[in-house]
Amino acid sequence: MSSFDRASERMAQARRITVLTGAGISTDSGIPDFRGPQGVWTKNPAAERASQLQHYLSDPEVRRAAWQNRLNSPAWAAQPNSGHQAIVELERHGRLRSLITQNIDELHQRAGSDPSLVLELHGTMRSVVCWQCGERGPMGPVLDRVRAGEDDPSCTTCGGILKSATISFGQSLDPEVLAGAEAAASDCDLLLAVGSSLTVHPAAGLVPLAKGKGASLIIVNAEPTPYDRIADAVLSDSISKVLPALVSASVLDG
Ligand code: NAD
């Protein structure tokens, strides 16, 4: 039996599927991942330093570079692709327990995924938060200020440091979102991990958690992951091609 057939058989049997996505699902929408062959950090290892919270907070130079990166992000123009759509299809067939994403691009919601089923483990780049007073707001108006010449815009309420509402390295995850993700990994009957190197914790730890509670595990990722050996099926094809095929085969059979 091929890996694809084994994966669709498991998918057809499953009734509460939790999907865990990473940057790889959005590369075909034009947003590079971090660690794939064309990844931002693979090409420029220094960029990893800028995503450390302590550097962002202590070094205005790091913040200025971060605001330029945000301004020029390909994510603003990106559209969801057939991989995102396939997960919406799974939801329409009543099979989706939860969609846990490490992505910050909101392309799942833009594809039509029910926002109440989406758990954004690493936050969203479409909002900003003040590091001092905690005030949150949309990213758009702050990027307008950067375009108008402010290279390190500060909070208009308290003057504190502004940052995208994403989780940087060195920053804790939102405990409620993490608890929701752990519950979704614990009580699903299948965990489908898509487009993640599964090296960032605690997100990656959801994989052995689900498997340990008896769920089937399918991994869709171009490169090997640390959990391939405990997976029931590993598909290393293009996500935007294989995910729609997997979902249609399993909803037709199931
Ligand atoms: P990662 O960069 O560590 O791994 C992505 C994996 O996807 C790689 O192993 C790569 O081989 C695979 N991949 C890429 N394109 C693929 C394709 N079309 N088909 C099949 N496989 C493909 O990503 P990660 O595990 O999500 O961790 C990176 C962190 O960076 C996350 O925390 C995430 O928040 C953040 N990030 C988010 C975005 C986004 O929101 N789109 C983009 C870059 C990074």
* Rounded to 5°, angle at Cα 120 from 152 and 217: 140
- What pLDDT digit, counting tens, does each position of 3-42 carry? 999 999 999 999 999 999 999 999 999 999 988 888 887 8
- Atom in ligand 1 nearest the alpha carbon of residue 225: 9
**From atom 22 of ligand 1, which residue's Cα is the shortest distance away?**
24
How much is the pLDDT for 205? 98
Report whether residue 82 contacts ligand 1, using a CB cutoff of 6 Å.
no
- 101, exposed or middle or buried, with CB in 10 Å at 0-12, 13-18, 19+? buried
- What pLDDT digit, counting tens, does each position of 171-229 carry? 999 999 999 999 999 999 999 999 999 999 999 999 999 999 999 999 999 999 999 99
Of 55, 93, 122, 201, the active-site residue reads: 122
- For the question of residue 84 being annotated catalytic, the response is no
Output the CA torsion 112→113→114→118 (10° steps). -140
- What pLDDT digit, counting tens, does each position of 40-61 carry? 878 877 677 778 899 999 999 9
- Atom in ligand 1 nearest the alpha carbon of residue 238: 19
CA 39 / ligand 1 centre spacing (Å): 8
pTM: 0.95
